[in-house]
Chains A and B, each alone.
Chain A
Amino acid sequence: MKPFTTSARRLAALVLTAATLATAACSSSATAGGGSGTDPVYFGVSSATTGQYAQYGQQFKEAFDLAVEQVNANGGINGRPVALKYEDSQSDPKQSVTVAQKFVADKDVVLAFGDYSSAASIPASPIYTSGKLVQYGFNNSNPAFTEKGTEYQWSTSITTTANYQWTADYLKKQGVKSVGVTYLNTADWGIPAFQAFKAEAEKVGLTITDAEGVLDTSDDYRPSLTKAVAGKPEAFVHIGYGPDAAKLVTQLRAIGYQGTFYGGQDEKSFDGTPDAAGSIIAAQFIETSTDPKVKAFVDAFKQKYPNEQHVTLFEATAYDALNVAVAVAKQGGPTREGILKGFGEVKDVPSVIYGSITFDPATRRVQDPRLTPTILKDGKWVEYKTA
């Protein structure tokens, strides 16, 4: 259809475009300065705003935006407002590494949040490290994110290990003797979590009648569930996320199992599932808490987003993360070096999840994270008190 010379010219044009782009990107990063006075302090956010993890990216964004509004209304960081630069990685490592490079090259960015999944966060870590930019993986519960990372990886997320050791201990304390288990067979989350649970269960003498690895992409768990409850365990533990737990608990009840369900997540689809009522989990954040900090956050959130029925752990982690980042920047100074220094020094940052946050500089995680047993009642998680 087209004479080949045109096509050849197009090929050349393509190559040239690539070169121009390269130059443009180079010059844009060169002009960026450190900034001072009333210039905004920029934090980067690498998260999924499209694709299969977009639900979480959206929850993070709402909470981030609220926190930024509040921080700026209160004078920002020593008079300088805070602003966020969002990049959509789809939580895909192919894109999270380029996003990391983009943030590293952008001298205005003094700290980067994210990514959502470990499979996207950990491949980006070497780039953040070599760019001397702190990567604050506030959602990364995989212990390896900080263990295998460097001084540039920090997290306020409780590790899966800590969470599921607690669960095994708690079950034992409740007098439960045997459990059936399903866990997500995923490398970055479910498997390490199950291993921590299993090791602790063995230690405290809690019998696991059967454990089945399942996938969150499955829709039908009945064949696995019939096996998992065949040994008639007293209670059932599911190590997974909200949407898969919602499907799973419905089907668990459908096959006639009546024991207590220890699992699920403070997440909309799980909270709204009728069969999920009565589920018990270790909570870090309770929306219904009477703590004035939590109440103020929940009220402000619902005021800003009147359509949101629930404020979950996902919003809380992002809200806390931004406040921690601001406290860190105030402590060490709003530069990349200052942020790194600030993380090591900051103490007792007010938190809606933990009450207050102090880091353990050795693990780069929160010291003594507090966990509270909660039960799902009428679509809301409330503190579970046993007599």
Chain B
Amino acid sequence: MLDTLIAGLLRGNVYALGAVGISLVFGVMNVINFAQFSFFGLGAMLAWFFVAQLGLPFGLALPLVIVICAALGLVINLTVVRPLAQFLPLAAMLSTYAVSQILDNASQIAFTAEFRVFPQVLPTSNLHIGNMRFGTSDLVMLGVTAVVMVAIGAFLKYGKIGQAIRATAQDQEAALQMGIPVGLVQHVAFVIASALGGLAGVFIALYVGVANPTSGLNTGMTAFVAATLGGLGSLLGAVVGGFALGILEAFGIHFFGDSAREIITFAILILVLIVRPGGLLGKVPLISTEPLTGTFLGKGRPLQVPRWVWPVALVVGGIVIPLVAGDYVLTTGTQVLIYAIIAAGFTVTAGQAGVMALGQAGSIAIGAYASALLTLHSPISFWAAIPIAGLIAAIISSILASPIWGVKGHYISIATLGVGTVIVAVIRLAVPQGIYGIPMPSWGDTLLATPRAYYLIDFAVLVVTLLVMWRIRGSHLGKVISSVGSDEVAALASGVRVRDYKALAFAVSAFFAGVGGSLLAHQYTYIDPTIFTMLMSLLVVTIVIMGGVSLPYGAVVGAIILIGAMELLRFTPELRIIVYGLVLILVVRFRPGGILVRNS
């Protein structure tokens, strides 16, 4: 037991360091910073480069890494995050994702994608308690963390800028009125966070022993959960959250196995959020509306699409493209259509109900598995399986997500991310083997497995999806859901059962996610849990943000751009992801409310 406790303390130390940076940026900028994850990987690779390649002493390499990461953080905040955060926090969040893509891939080009052995700069197993061995390196890490935390704590309490950071975190408007240079404060916070990210990255590599440019993502995700657990914006909370998560995970893995790690992590998070909706030490958000989408609806106004566009789009998409396009374009088109279906259904949650749910991959996975298992083990045909898969996804997702609708503010996004991740993790435990030979669609005895047939089937489903979404928006129900999203307090005051309508909107989105999953499964004919990743969830969110968060047809445009771009950029394989990130930033910069929504 002592062994497990020590293992938990050591991993908690790394989480705590990572979580502090995430919490700090969130506190003063209200932005969830995905770029922070990349600083973990970058810090590790830079340290590896300085020590293993250039032969610098570790004592020199560490400050170098911190300085480089800090400088890079300043550049990123100056050029990308802060300008966009002024428009919309949601746009800024998307841009930090783009920045992380650029950083990871630039680092990959510079250092190559290989896993590298991290040099043993300090002994790692020269001490022991019971059977558990640990080393000077672990003690140094714990010591450095303690010193850094105390230093930051003192800086925030007594330093002039530190006090300004706290004031800004508490109330940005009031801070501005008191004459606090909020811009400068935000830069400082971002720089400190980036430097901490680099430092944490070095420690992760030191602890783990190997590193590659993208190795920060997994620890980053856990650090993010730790920050949420402690209460976003609370630094002490981040430290407490980090250690608590580390220790609970260690015991969880001891009893349930490493495969259950993600379930444990997110189960802890969701439980804490239900009991304490603002995290362990955070403030409970006063407004229960999702702050990201809330601001969004106020700023964006749907674009009036002239009527002639609809028949033209229908003719081009449904007749011209299938007639003239080659198989490659049709297959790409199929991927675009499936994601458009998923994203269009998601607009009712993201746009209308005002909940930026992050775990759509979970619902997609349920749909895919339901459809695969039904068609393989029952007489149900492909055609019947599509809506049934949607229904099953809607039912299971709503039941699983039902406890989280009382969670408030940003925490709801993170809780839904947790639900999505847990769904996929549970599927991995229940059906660990991949499913093969999922039947292709057929009509009578005719197999409909050509790229053109897939395209046409998916196009028809998309048209139906858009019609349903259009009907929902126009109906009384849709108006009620919209009222929940645009002003939750007013909706509550008018007697609307806000939680129930949020749950209903989520169920509608899950239905279409399930339908999309079913279509994917029957096209791939093979599925396994590695297909339904967090990146899939992020893709759905980015598609919706790009197209205009409350417009179902905007999702189609978002899907064309985000999935089509990956194919169009094949002419520059090395720079593909970097160009993709830049395109994303430019679109967000010039259309921060989404392509089809005018910004004010």
Contact = CB atoms under 8 A, between A and B. Distances in A.
B497 interface: no
Contacts of A219: 11, 204, 207-208, 218-219
Nearest to A104: B327
A118 interface: yes
A86 B574 CA distance: 11
B328 A256 contact: no
B3 interface: yes
B335 interface: yes
Contacts of B303: 4, 7-8
Interface in A47-86: 49-52, 54-55, 57-58, 86
A82 B394 CA distance: 52
B162 interface: no
Given A55-B113, A247-B208, A119 B440 contact: no
Given A214-B259, A219-B204, A187 B326 contact: no
Interface in A145-160: 148
Interface string A204-221: 000000001111011111
B339 to A, nearest CB: 8
A220 B257 CA distance: 12
Given A126-B449, A187-B529, A247-B208, A213 B257 contact: yes
Contacts of B331: 97-98, 100-101, 127
A302 interface: no
Contacts of A127: 331, 451
A58 B109 CA distance: 11
Nearest to B135: A254
A226 B131 contact: yes
A22 B210 contact: no
A273 to B, nearest CB: 5
Contacts of A123: 523-526
A98 B332 contact: yes
Interface stretch (B68-76, B285-293, B563-571): B563-571
Contacts of A221: 258
A243 B530 contact: no
A234 interface: no
A58 B131 contact: no
B575 to A, nearest CB: 9
A50 B576 contact: yes
Nearest to B590: A1
Nearest to B112: A58
B400 interface: no
B563 A256 contact: no
Interface in A1-23: 1-2, 4, 7-8, 11-12, 14-16, 18-19, 21-23
B577 to A, nearest CB: 5
A253 interface: yes
B598 A102 contact: no
Given A19-B320, A97-B331, A250-B124, A268 B530 contact: no
B54 interface: no
A131 B450 CA distance: 10
Interface stretch (B19-27, B57-65, B148-156, B247-255): B247-255
Interface in A338-387: none
A130 interface: yes
B115 A55 contact: yes
B113 A54 contact: yes
Interface in A92-134: 93-95, 97-98, 100-102, 104-105, 117-119, 122-123, 125-127, 130-131
A226 B4 contact: yes
B327 A218 contact: no
Given A14-B557, A18-B560, A98-B332, A54 B108 contact: yes
Interface string B516-538: 00000001111011110000000
B433 interface: yes
A258 B532 CA distance: 38
A63 to B, nearest CB: 15
Contacts of A18: 316, 321, 560, 564
Interface string B246-273: 0001111110011101000000000000
A188 B529 CA distance: 9
A254 B218 contact: no
B15 to A, nearest CB: 10
B380 interface: no
A254 to B, nearest CB: 5
A285 to B, nearest CB: 18
A22 B326 contact: yes
A267 interface: yes
Nearest to A149: B436
A192 interface: yes
B136 interface: no
Interface stretch (B235-243, B304-312, B350-358, B507-515): B304-312
A177 to B, nearest CB: 22
Given A12-B309, A18-B321, A242-B115, A26 B329 contact: yes
Interface string A312-353: 000000000000000000000000000000000000000000
Contacts of B305: 8, 11
Which one of B134, B258, B317, B434 has the greatest number of beta carbons of chain A within 10 Å?
Answer: B258
Contact of A58 (B113, B252, B564, B567): B113
B121 interface: no
Given A15-B312, A227-B254, A246-B209, A185 B326 contact: no
B432 interface: yes
A288 interface: no
B451 A101 contact: yes
B449 A22 contact: no
Contacts of A28: 326
A131 B328 CA distance: 12
Given A2-B598, A219-B204, A144 B434 contact: yes
Contacts of A34: none
Which one of A15, A16, A223 has the greatest number of beta carbons of chain B within 10 Å?
Answer: A223
Given A98-B331, A118-B434, A227-B254, A7 B570 contact: no
A148 B435 CA distance: 11
Contacts of A165: none
B321 A4 contact: no
B486 interface: no
A145 to B, nearest CB: 10
B530 A224 contact: no
A223 B250 contact: yes
B335 A272 contact: no
A55 B114 contact: yes
Closest 8 CB pairs of A and B: A22-B325, A123-B524, A54-B113, A269-B115, A223-B253, A101-B331, A187-B528, A272-B117
Given A4-B303, A88-B573, A223-B7, 4 more contacts: A19-B321, A49-B573, A87-B573, A185-B428
28 contacts: A7-B598, A15-B317, A23-B325, A25-B329, A26-B326, A29-B328, A49-B574, A54-B113, A95-B566, A125-B526, A127-B451, A130-B450, A148-B436, A185-B258, A187-B434, A191-B432, A214-B258, A218-B261, A219-B11, A223-B253, A243-B210, A246-B209, A253-B133, A254-B125, A254-B133, A268-B116, A269-B115, A269-B210
